[in-house]
Structure 1
Amino acid sequence: MNVRFDLDPSVTPALRDGICALWSDVSNADGAVGFVPPVTQDDVRPELLRHLTSMAEGRTRLLVGRDPDDRVLAAAFLTLNDHRLMRHWLWVYTVMVHPSAQGQGVGRELMAAVADAARSLDGISGIRLTCRGGTGLSRFYASCGYKEVGRVPGAIKVADGDFRDDITMWRELG
């Protein structure tokens, strides 16, 4: 699939709406991006605004993937550390690939673009992310060069009686 990735694109109303639609579509397809379906774009919008505010404050960077028609197909937020002993690595949050593009290599392309973006930032030598257990995501991230470095059993409550592990993954950049 032909996807163009951009780091720090201009946040236009069209891009904002595209990310909001992506986030709700991924959530409603059981994607582990902070919500449990069903959700609407109105449910997602406040969380997106928190991410955009963090971007405006210079703490977070946006990586977005678009198809040739400029439709948002993938996104990830890279959050810089402000602690002086941890500025050499960053967090990756809210990694999303549109359900229509899953299984076509877009997720691998997104994670490769995340690594390239991190390498382009001064002094960054590692990437940290977390994922929800029981989804197969830890296997996907491992196939992209990440290794599991921690796990908190039952830390994520998806529903009454449905608790998932919070898995921490790490990728050293070389």
Structure 2
Amino acid sequence: MPLTFTFDPVVTPELRDGILDLWADVTDAGGAVGFVPPVTRDEIRPQLVRQFVSMAEERSRLLVGHDEEGRVAATAFLTFNTHHLMTHWLWLYTVMVHPRHQGKGCGRDLMAAAERAARTLDGIEAIRLSCRGGLGLERFYASCGYKEVGRIPGAIRVAPGDDRDDVLLLLPLT
């Protein structure tokens, strides 16, 4: 079943808890979303609070996908660039699809929904995102139209002796 996407949902305790559950489940399944497994909701909570503060300050917007049971199944944060010479593009952060929905086209649906959302924002001409190398994520994002525009070797240390590239990708909207 396809996910139902909402741009700028009302943040309720249920949504907050759903995002925490999603983030923990994605991380524990090996997802590259800022933490290394195993992770707890309490470890993730401060980062989610920072995202909510950014939303309250109108520096970012949330896209959330719910499954047919109403559970949070996917997210992406569209974050505006604060550098005055770079306000024509935004960052896409914390792109997540729950493991039970992976391999069913939901990731591609999330990326298409993020592109549609970005196109509704005045003055936005491109989406940038970065991903952890070594997991094949670059190929997925390329299949969604993103082009690799930079790579910093060994910039992400997931464990001692396990450094990964930070891969920068761009999707022009114009």
Which TM-score tier does this pair reach, normalised by the shorter chain? Answer: over 0.9
Instruction: Give runs of aligned pairs for residues 53-132 of structure 1, distance below 5 A.
Output: 53-132=53-132
Distance 2:24 2:67 in 1: 18
TM-score by length of 1: 0.98
Shift of 1:23: 0.2
CA distance in 1, matches of 2:66, 2:14: 12
CA distance in 2, matches of 1:6, 1:120: 13
Cα drift, residue 139 of structure 1 = 0.5
Give unmatched runs, 5+ long, in structure 1: none
Number of matched pairs: 174
Q: Distance in 1 between matches of 2:78 and 2:2?
A: 23
Specify the code of the residue in structure 2 equivalent to 1:73. A
Deviation at 1:82, TM superposition (A): 2.2
Q: 2-side partners of 1:68 and 1:97: how far apart?
A: 14
Please report how far the alpha carbon of residue 43 of structure 1 lies from its aligned counterpart in structure 2 after TM superposition: 0.9
Percent identity over paired residues: 66
AA aligned to 2:76 is: A
What amino acid is aligned across from residue 88 of structure 2 in structure 1? H
- 1:84: Cα distance to partner? 2.0
AA aligned opposite 2:111 = M
Matched, 1:156 2:159: no
AA in 1 matched with 2:160:
D
SS in structure 1 of the partner of residue 92 of structure 2: strand
Provide the C-alpha distance between the structure 2 equivalents of 1:142 and 1:93, rounded to a whole number of angstroms: 16
The residue number in structure 1 matching 2:6 is 6
Structure 2 residue 170 is the aligned partner of structure 1 residue 170? yes
How far, CA to CA, are the matches of 1:45 and 1:133 in structure 2? 25
Structure 1: 4+ residue segments shifted above 4 A: none
Letter in 1 for 2:25: D
Output the CA distance in 1 between the equivalents of 2:60 and 2:127: 14
Structure-2 separation of matches of 1:82 and 1:45:
24
Superposed CA RMSD: 0.7
Pair 1:17-2:17 in alignment: yes
Q: Distance in 2 between matches of 1:60 and 1:157?
A: 26
* Unmatched 5+ stretches in structure 2: none
Provide the TM-score with structure 2 as the length reference.
0.98
In structure 2, what is the Cα distance between the partners aligned to 1:121 and 1:50? 22
